[in-house]
Structure 1
C-alpha cells in the first residue's frame, strides 16, 4: 500500500460516474485523518500521471507508512504482508539501476524484492475474540476478466474459511480507479458475488480504514513469482494465507450471480428464438492479444466448416465475423454491450469454441462444455479446476527474420500456419 496526501483539492470520476474526492491535508498532526489516503502502488502511479496531465500544482506526497501502521487499533493485515511497500520499492529501484542497464522501471524485477513467503490465515486470526468482522481488500484482484472471475473463487473460499471462525463476515473491495478504463466492468464482476458486501473505488482514507478489523493489500501481486507459477485460484489462496493444497478441487468452482441482472427484452427474445432452431454453439475467435486470436480469414473459414458439419446447431458469435452468409450463423454482437450481457449469452448456449479469453472462465460457472484453443499459455495450469473445459494446443510455428528486439509483422514467417492446420473434426469430436 501507499499512504499519501494531495497538495490541492480535486475530484476524479470513474467510468461509471463515481466521484473519488481528494482533499488537501487538514490537521497534519492527526494521522487518523480523512485527508490522508491509501491506495495500491499501481493506482498511486496512475494517480500521479493523472495529476501531471492536469497541472503541476496537483501532486501526491507519500507519507511514511510506518507512522500510520503503528497507530493503536490500526487493522491487522491478513495474508502475505506488504509492509513499507513504497520505501522497499524505492530502495530496490536503486539496486536495479546499474551501470550496465536500468531495470528500475520493470515491475517484474521490482516485485522480486517484496515478501512472498507463505503465511497461514488460521494463525493470523486465532487470537481474535470478535464474532463479527469487516475485511477490506485494497486493490484489484486480477486485471482481466478471466483473472477476476478466478480470483472471486479464491475470495469465496477465503469467506468460507473466515466463517469457520466468525459469526458474520463482511468483505468489501476497493478497486483501482485512477486510470482504470474498465472500472465499470470490474465493478460488475465483483458486485455480483454474494460474499462481497460492497465494491468501491480507491483511494480509501486512513480514517475509513479504521472501520475494518482486517485488510488485504493486493499491490503488485500479479507481478509475483507465485502468481505466474500457479493457476489464478491457487495463487490468490496463497496470497490470502490459505494452503491451496488442502482445499479440495470441488471447492474451486467459479461463481457468478446473475439474479440482480436484468437482460434487455430484445436479448431475451433473441435467445428464445434461437433455441427454437436447435442447439446453440458460441464461437469466440478473437482475443485482445493478437497472438491468441484466430486470423480473421481463418475464423471465417472455420465458421463455414462448422456450419457444414453441425447441421443441428445454430452458431452464434458476440464478435463480428466477416464473410458469413448463412441463416444458421447469427451475430449477437449488438446485444453484448456489457460484461453481464456477455455472461448471459454464455449461460444460454449449449457449447462453446473459444480462443484463450475470459469466455471459458465464465462458461465454467454455467457448466457449458467448452473447447479452448490455446497458443502460448500452459493449458493444464489454466484449466486445472475446470471439468467442462478441454484444451486444443495450437503451436506457434512462426519464425522471426529480424535480429532486432521488436515485433515487426512483415518480418515474421509462418505466423498463421498452425491456425490453418486446425482439424475441425477433432474439435467436434471433443465437443461430443
Structure 2
C-alpha cells in the first residue's frame, strides 16, 4: 500500500501565478525549499511547487498563530527571511538581534534568496559573525535538522499583516514574539554599530538620499536642487549625496560608496540626513543621526515610530495610500505637485 512521507501532508500544487505570490516559501517537486523570488528572477517554471507550510514542523505565522518559547530551543532556522530590499533586511535583522539579545546561546541559521541584489546580500555577510549562519536557497528539506525550531517568513510582502503593522512589529510577530515584549530601544537597529565599517575621516557634512526603491516613494528630481540649497542654508555645511545634482555646495558621493559598508559609513558620519529612502532612515536610526524623512504612500508610523531622532514628514498622495511601488506618469506628476506644495509653504528641514 502506498503512503506519503510522514513529514508532508499532500496538497495540490500551486498555480504558476499563486506560487509567486504565495505567503510563504515553496517546496519543489524534488523536496527542495525554494524562494519564490528566485523563481521569478530566473524566469523559471513554477509548476509543481507546493506550500512549504504543509510540512509538519515548519511554522508560518501567515497560516497559523505562532508563539515561540525560545528558552526551550537551542537552534532557530529562519527560512527565506528577511526580504530582498535593504530596508526590510535591516528591520528583519533587528528583530533577530532582539531575540538573540534575550537568548544569547540560541543558534540562528538564516536561509536567503540566492538572487537577492548583491548590495542586500552584503548586509547579511556583515551581520553574520555576531548573528549566526547565512545559507543560500534552495536547500533540501531533509537538510534541516529535526527537532530544531523552523520558521518560514518567505514572500512576506504578500502577507496581509505586513501592510498593517509597523515593520519591526511584523517581523517580531512573524517570529513568534509579541511586539509589546520588546522595548522601543531595542527596535532602533543599534546592532548596526557593531558592523566592521571602513575608515571614514572627512570634514563635517550633511547627507541627501532622495531615492527610494520605487519612484513614487522617492523625492522628485525637480526638487533635489531646492532641498540641497535648503540644507546648505540651514546647516552651512557641504552637502554630500547619492545622485547627480547641479549645485555648488553638493558632491555626488555615489562613486565613493561601492559597497554596502561604505553606504552605511556615509550615513553613520553625517551631521544630518534628509531622505525618502527608508533604508537610509533605518541606518541613521541605528547611529542616532538626526534625520528628516519624507513619506508618501505609507504612514510614517509604519517605519519611523521608534526613532526618537527622526522628523517624519508626510507628503499626502490621495488615492495612492498603501501602494508598494509605482512609476506611472500620473502618479509621479501627483508626487511632484505634492512636494511643490509642501516646499512652497513655511517648511524647514529641521524641527
* Structure 1 CA distance for aligned equivalents of residues 50 and 334 of structure 2: 53
Residue 250 (structure 1) aligned to one of 185, 190, 193: 185
SS in 2 for 1:141: coil
* Structure 2 CA distance for aligned equivalents of residues 147 and 48 of structure 1: 22
* Structure 2 CA distance for aligned equivalents of residues 235 and 66 of structure 1: 18
Please list, as runs of the form range in 1=range in 2, the aligned pairs for 1:18-417 lying within 5 A after superposition: 36-40=31-35, 42-43=36-37, 45-46=39-40, 49-50=43-44, 61-62=48-49, 69=56, 76-77=57-58, 80=61, 115-117=63-65, 119-122=66-69, 128=72, 133-163=74-104, 168-177=105-114, 180-182=115-117, 184-193=118-127, 194-210=129-145, 213-257=148-192, 261=196, 263=198, 268=199, 272-273=201-202, 275=203, 279-311=204-236, 313-321=237-245, 323-324=246-247, 326=248, 328-396=249-317, 409=329, 415-417=335-337
After superposition, the Cα gap between the structure-2 partners of 1:47 and 1:206, relative to the gap in structure 1 and judged at 3 Å, is farther
Give per-residue Cα distances to partners, 1:311-335, cap 9 Å, x unaligned: 2x111102222x22x2x32221111
- CA drift of 1:152 comes to 1.0
Structure 1's unaligned 5+ residue stretches are 7-35, 53-58, 70-75, 81-113, 400-405
- CA drift of 1:362 comes to 0.6
After superposition, the Cα gap between the structure-2 partners of 1:142 and 1:398, relative to the gap in structure 1 and judged at 3 Å, is closer
Higher gyration radius (CA): 1
After superposition, the Cα gap between the structure-2 partners of 1:419 and 1:137, relative to the gap in structure 1 and judged at 3 Å, is same
SS in 1 for 2:347: helix
CA contact (8 A) 2:84 2:116 kept: no
Which residue in the other structure is 2:4 paired with? none
CA contact (8 A) 1:149 1:361 kept: yes
Give per-residue Cα distances to partners, 1:265-306, cap 9 Å, x unaligned: xxx5xx534x2xxx3110112223211222222211221343
Q: Between 348-357 and 365-374, report the one with greater CA deviation.
A: 348-357
> TM-score with structure 2 length normalisation?
0.79
- CA drift of 1:67 comes to 9.6
Q: State the number of aligned residues.
A: 320
Which residue in the other structure is 1:420 paired with? 340
- CA drift of 1:217 comes to 1.0
After superposition, the Cα gap between the structure-2 partners of 1:60 and 1:204, relative to the gap in structure 1 and judged at 3 Å, is farther
